[in-house]
Structure 1
């Protein structure tokens, strides 16, 4: 664990921002006083194996390849670390009110459509991977963590042997073992939308198996039945974005969020 004022390459550590399963994220500044402070993600010593080193490098390369105002900006990387845009507002769950959350969702939808147009699937869309600027007006919502992102071109050449997914947001086809696609990200965005607007994900289960079963077999909840601010149109829009078959979903993430915003507004 690095401490404030410790040197790390060309950077000086300011403090800890947070811990993940395999890495610690620090706020740091350039030792020569160049530029703005950065978020420095450093793999823990006991996680510096080939798998995690490769995953961290993929996170850096995919985010840099898909540069967009609402995708986290990557600056540089080295063995077991990367330096990226520092985003100070926490996750999208910190945003007050539906209007700001809908704005954030529209920005993330735009980022996802851009990413998809470049042949990349994020594969881990969820509220904790949507950070927000402080103040929000300075940069809005930022899509982060491309650690399990996939290139559609790579997947066409290499058979997928293992798919990682956050179960509350995992599309049925991914749970069936099929390669993720833009439609899979749309499904995850729909689950994220429900969570940001209602406080919980569409499907909840006491076990992993019950959650998987719900994604595969349960109908999408109808929120207009128990939330007085939700119109019936919301239910039908959500049902399409969360269709069990990816072919039945919307053509873009922005189309889905635009319809949701119009229905609620």
Structure 2
């Protein structure tokens, strides 16, 4: 993997920003342009992961939205994209100070708008979670990582792709192998909202099998019982966004988060 000072496809590596399961992300620059440079780990430079990286680039490239990451160019094992300097929404998780509540709600509102935008373009993100919501120091949240996103035109085809989602945020229909829809992202956004305000996702378990069972069969525990500043309406609004039947969720992510915002403020 590159180290500070190394040059990758003309980009000078400045510092490591973060590590993921398949790649590392570096702050880098080319002339005066600063970018986030995603580089696949050596053991993930295989056809499957390279195709996923290229697909991430191709999908993100078709969007023009202030709350969706801008991608610049892509090589065999690297992707240059918009550099964001405010960390991720993970940094907001579980912080109870009153001054940070509007920041959490604003981030959720912005990501809800981004999700509705891609849904209108017939794309489902399939991996909404705090670590895929980046923030700028100047304010504002940005949706990133379209590596497992699905186009709705293919999501219900005869050779429907298997969605490799993050279990703590996985909608029941994904776990059942059913088609993904815009409501799939809404479920994950609801899990994300719970994590931001409660410090953990709505379902946690010691084993993957138990976690799957909870998503399929359990009702989320009301977090208003643990947090005095959270009204009971928060729980009922989240419960609808996490309905086991996708058709029972809200029509849009924006409607869901708007109701949540009105309940909390």
Per the alignment, residue 70 of structure 1 pairs with 67
Match of 1:89 among 83, 86, 101: 86
How many angstroms does 1:182 deviate by? 0.5
How many angstroms does 1:161 deviate by? 4.8
Match of 1:113 among 116, 119, 130: 116
In the TM superposition, what whole-angstrom CA distance separates every residue of 1:80-112 from its partner, at most 9, and x where no partner exists? 111000011111132461110110000000000
Per the alignment, residue 130 of structure 1 pairs with 133
Aligned residues of 2:25 and 2:38 also touching (Cα < 8 A)? yes
Structure 1: unaligned runs, 5 residues or longer: none
Q: 1:47 to 1:103 in 2, by over 3 A?
A: same
Aligned residues of 2:125 and 2:150 also touching (Cα < 8 A)? yes
Structure 1 position 211 matched with structure 2 position 208: no
How many angstroms does 1:135 deviate by? 2.9
Aligned pairs for 1:113-262 (under 5 A) are: 113-136=116-139, 140-262=140-262
Structure 2: unaligned runs, 5 residues or longer: none
In the TM superposition, what whole-angstrom CA distance separates every residue of 1:21-68 from its partner, at most 9, and x where no partner exists? 1212111111xx24x310111112221111001000111111111221
Q: 1:172 to 1:157 in 2, by over 3 A?
A: closer
How many angstroms does 1:149 deviate by? 0.3
Structure 1 position 55 matched with structure 2 position 52: yes
Within 2, Cα distance between the matches of 1:85 and 1:39?
6
Match of 2:39 among 18, 39, 42: 42
How many angstroms does 1:197 deviate by? 1.0
Q: 1:224 to 1:12 in 2, by over 3 A?
A: closer
Within 1, Cα distance between the matches of 2:177 and 2:258?
30
Within 1, Cα distance between the matches of 2:219 and 2:155?
30
Within 2, Cα distance between the matches of 1:237 and 1:13?
44
Within 2, Cα distance between the matches of 1:208 and 1:4?
37
Within 1, Cα distance between the matches of 2:254 and 2:209?
31
TM-score between the two structures when normalised by the length of structure 2: 0.94
Count of matched residue positions in the alignment of Structure 1 and Structure 2: 259
How many angstroms does 1:224 deviate by? 2.6
Within 1, Cα distance between the matches of 2:44 and 2:90?
29
Within 1, Cα distance between the matches of 2:184 and 2:143?
16
Within 1, Cα distance between the matches of 2:108 and 2:158?
32
How many angstroms does 1:158 deviate by? 4.3
